[in-house]
Amino acid sequence: MKKYIIIMYMALALLTGCDGRSAGWQTGDVTLVRALGVDLTGAGIDLVAWGGDGERLSAEGGSVADGLNRLKEMGTGFVHFGHADQILLGEGFARDKMPDLVDFVARDRQIGPGARLWVVRQDMPREAADVAARLERLASTREAGTTRSCTVTQMMRAIAEEGSTLAPALSWEEEELRLAGYAVLRQGRLVGFLEGEQALGAELLCGQGAGQLVAVTLPDGAPVTLSVERASVCCEPLLAEGTLHGAQLRCSVWLEVVQGAPLTAGQRREAVRQAEEILCRRMASALACAQFWDADFVGLEQHLRAACSAQEWNGVDWARGFRTLPLRAVVSAEVAWPADVMEE
């Protein structure tokens, strides 16, 4: 028995992994990369790594793997990418090379596929500091226009299904990264950006949008601001003679008055009517963009396929038909705080 135990312990000693790591790992001299920036340059790929303590490394390479290898050689400590949970993509890279990055992360043992993707409009802000902290702040903030996130896995899924998805967009203004709507990616390639009302409409179409503000003006000229508490979307096929000839997206929205004097019942009805119009316009503008870019980021195909019978879906050519399918957005809103209503 003793000899077996000795052999077993000797085998375990071989598995400690002490010999395969660099000296920096053993001594704790490690640069933990929290955010990674990837963009195109003339020569190939430009990579920037931001550490949690403000440290910044940058390198160029022929591919993502080559660039990361060069980054590993930089600095004084062991560069570890296992904590990189934010990936910043330059606009040029997102247009052409996204599938390369996704394929790399899918195989890489350090960078997790749960890392969030952000698309920077125009060029990568190489000189930016503390990007990791800023992105974490943005990711945790429920600001209007940013409630949807996109991870590498979600992008992998969109590419595998030949579908479309949204990723939050950023702009570099006044030495700070700011939210700038959404980037629309079809089959993993950037096709355009949704801004302002379009971005808010896209959130509503995806059944999100909590925190959006809706400003209305009552007939007596008093301004009232409503906030979206929650929203849900139901997709209904419009059928004629057993074939699909359109779809209706019915969005139910619960609102709360956040600014303005207490409302009478009549004023509340008027406020709700105006809010429904505004929200409907937002959704319609986002749908128009989706059809223009042929990017079904709402997942309409799956909703409609589930709602239609096999016979009704048989004649549908979604790949060609989505752009021209008549789509209708309908909003029904409720103000969720009846205590705010005054007696008339």
Partner 1 sequence: MRNVAARQHAAWCWAASLAPALTVLPGAGGWSVPLLALPAVWAADRLLRRAEAHRGWDRRFGGALTIIYIMWAVVLGGTQLRIGVHRVGTAVNLAVEPWLLAAGVVLLAVWMARGTPAACARWARMVLKGTLVALGGIVLLSLRQMRWESLLPLWKGGVDWFGVTGLTGAVLCVRVYGGFVSEDGGGGMRYLPPVCLLLSALLVAIEGNLGTALAARVEDPLLTLSRNVGVEGTFQRAESLLAAGLLLVDLALLTLLLWAAQGRLGRFWPTVGLAIFVAASLPVSAAGMELFRNWILPVGNFALGLVVPLFLLVVGRAKDGKTRAYIVPENRGNGTS
Name the site residues for partner 1 (rule: CB under 8 A).
1, 4-5, 7-8, 11-12, 14-21, 83, 85, 106, 109, 112-114, 151, 153, 156-157, 160-162, 299, 302-303, 305-306
Closer Cβ to partner 1, 165 or 274, answer by number = 165
Is 69 in a helix, a strand, or coil?
Answer: helix
Closest to partner 1 by CB, 115 vs 275, is 115
Rg of the chain in Å (alpha carbons) = 25
253 touches 205 (CB < 8 A): no
Is residue 40 within 8 A of residue 93, CB to CB? The reply is yes
Expressed in percent and rounded to 5, the helix, strand and coil fractions of the chain are 35, 35, 30
Amino acid at position 330, single letter: V
254/313 with CB nearer partner 1: 313
1 or 240: CB nearest partner 1 = 1
| Nearer CB in complex with partner 1: 12/43 | 12
The Cβ of residue 141 has, within 10 Å, a number of other Cβ atoms equal to 11
CB proximity list for 302: less than 8 A, separation 6 or greater:
none
- Identity of the residue, 157 or 245, whose beta carbon is nearer to partner 1 in the bound complex: 157
Q: Please report how close the Cβ of residue 302 comes to partner 1 at its closest, in angstroms.
A: 5
Minimum distance from CB of 269 to partner 1 (Å)?
33
> Contact 24/8 with Cβ under 8 angstroms?
no
* Smallest distance, partner 1 to C-beta of residue 52, A: 13
Nearer to partner 1, 43 or 310 (CB): 310
CB of 92 to partner 1, least distance (A): 26
To partner 1, the closest distance from the beta carbon of 267 in angstroms equals 37
Q: How far apart are CA 258 and CA 112, in angstroms?
A: 40
Q: How far apart are CA 144 and CA 197, in angstroms?
A: 10
Nearest approach in angstroms of CB 246 to partner 1 is: 19
Nearest Cα to Cα of residue 249 among 315, 203, 311? 203
Question: In whole angstroms, how close is the CB of 152 to partner 1 at the nearest point?
Answer: 9
- Cβ proximity to partner 1: between 76 and 140 the closer is 140
* Shortest Cβ 218–partner 1 spacing (Å): 38
Residue 109 or 320: which CB sits closer to partner 1? 109
Q: CB of 313: closest distance to partner 1 in angstroms?
A: 10
Question: What single string gives the DSSP state of each residue in 247-312?
Answer: EEEEEEEEEEEEESSPEEHHHHHHHHHHHHHHHHHHHHHHHHHHHHTT--TT-HHHHHHHHS-HHH
Number of other residues whose CB lies within 10 A of the CB of residue 69: 12
Cα–Cα distance between 215 and 225 in angstroms, integer?
A: 4
Alpha helices in the chain (DSSP H): 2-14, 23-27, 64-72, 91-96, 98-107, 131-140, 152-160, 196-205, 265-292, 300-307, 310-314, 318-321
